[in-house]
Amino acid sequence: RGVIITIDGVAASGKSTVASGVARALGVPYVSSGLLYRAVTLHGLESGLPGGDLRVLERLQAQPPRLEPHAEGNRVHLAGRDLTDDLHATRVDEGVSAYAALPEVRAWVDEQLRALPAPFVAEGRDMGTNVFPQAQAKFYLTASPRVRAERRSAERPEDLDAIEAALVERDTRDAAQSLPAADALVIDTGELSAQEVIDLIVAQVRE
Ligand code: CDP
């Protein structure tokens, strides 16, 4: 049936790993909203637009990135090209918040997400608050900046201090859309493995 579960949280809190694990346990796809914001950003960067330029909307209309949700991992295609492997570059990390701050860009992303057929697990910042307030179960992941930087250091070339500073900076820039839903269960993942967080969420959902 049309069940939607939302997993929101701060940068590098483990949302995609956990969302993928929960989705696989439940036999449904997960949906990464962050990948769509990242695709908008790459589109803007490759079009030579300055950060957060509203003209990116014209590019989105002309060549819309398409999100493919799977339980194993999401992919994004643009005009026949698979963008996915380029979406976690440092320049995208640095540029994404300026695009995500534009209400018009947010409306475009929300429209893509709401067009997807449920059931699914939706992962991001405002899935439980703005996009799917009607979701059946909502979760919000946190962890200290140090723990998050340590987890992300396996996926980024920069040193730990630089990664931590960039995460904290991005949290600040994303603060407006990153409040937990009033009815979300907040989970501090600092002391938990990804599998423990997945098991906890699956147990809650099955209750
Ligand atoms: O995994 P990580 O937290 O590093 O990033 P992400 O979930 O891929 O999100 C990338 C960026 O997209 C965030 O820093 C936000 O600027 C934006 N975003 C957002 O504004 N709202 C969402 N629902 C998801 C992402």
Going by C-alpha positions, the residue among 152, 159, 139 that lies closest to residue 200 is 139
Centroid of ligand 1 to alpha carbon of 10 (angstroms):
8
Going by C-alpha positions, the residue among 170, 118, 175 that lies closest to residue 11 is 170
Centroid of ligand 1 to alpha carbon of 125 (angstroms):
6
**Atom of ligand 1 at shortest range from CA of 10:** 3
Residues in the chain: 207
pLDDT of residue 146: 96
Residue ranges of domains in the chain, CATH in brackets: 4-206 (3.40.50.300)
DSSP 63: S
pLDDT band at residue 204, thresholds of 50, 70 and 90?
Answer: very high
Q: What ipTM does this complex have?
A: 0.97
CA distances from 24 to 3, 21, 36, 50 (A): 15, 5, 21, 39
- Once rounded to an integer, what is the mean pLDDT over residues 160-187? 96
Over 90: is that where the pLDDT of 202 sits?
yes
Q: Is the CB of 189 under 6 A from ligand 1?
A: no
**How far, in Å, CA of 178 to CA of 186, rounded?**
13
Q: Is the CB of 14 under 6 A from ligand 1?
A: no
Centroid of ligand 1 to alpha carbon of 166 (angstroms):
13
pLDDT band at residue 41, thresholds of 50, 70 and 90?
Answer: very high
- Once rounded to an integer, what is the mean pLDDT over residues 6-24? 96
pLDDT band at residue 1, thresholds of 50, 70 and 90?
Answer: low
Which residues in the chain belong to E strands, given as ranges? Answer: 4-9, 30-32, 66-68, 75-78, 81-82, 120-124, 137-142, 185-188
Centroid of ligand 1 to alpha carbon of 124 (angstroms):
6
pLDDT of residue 61: 93
Q: Is the CB of 123 under 6 A from ligand 1?
A: no
Q: Is the CB of 21 under 6 A from ligand 1?
A: no
pLDDT of residue 155: 87
Q: Is the CB of 11 under 6 A from ligand 1?
A: yes
What's at 99, amino acid-wise? Answer: Y
Over 80: is that where the pLDDT of 197 sits?
yes
pLDDT tens digit string along 90-142? 999 999 999 999 999 999 999 999 999 999 999 999 999 999 999 999 999 99
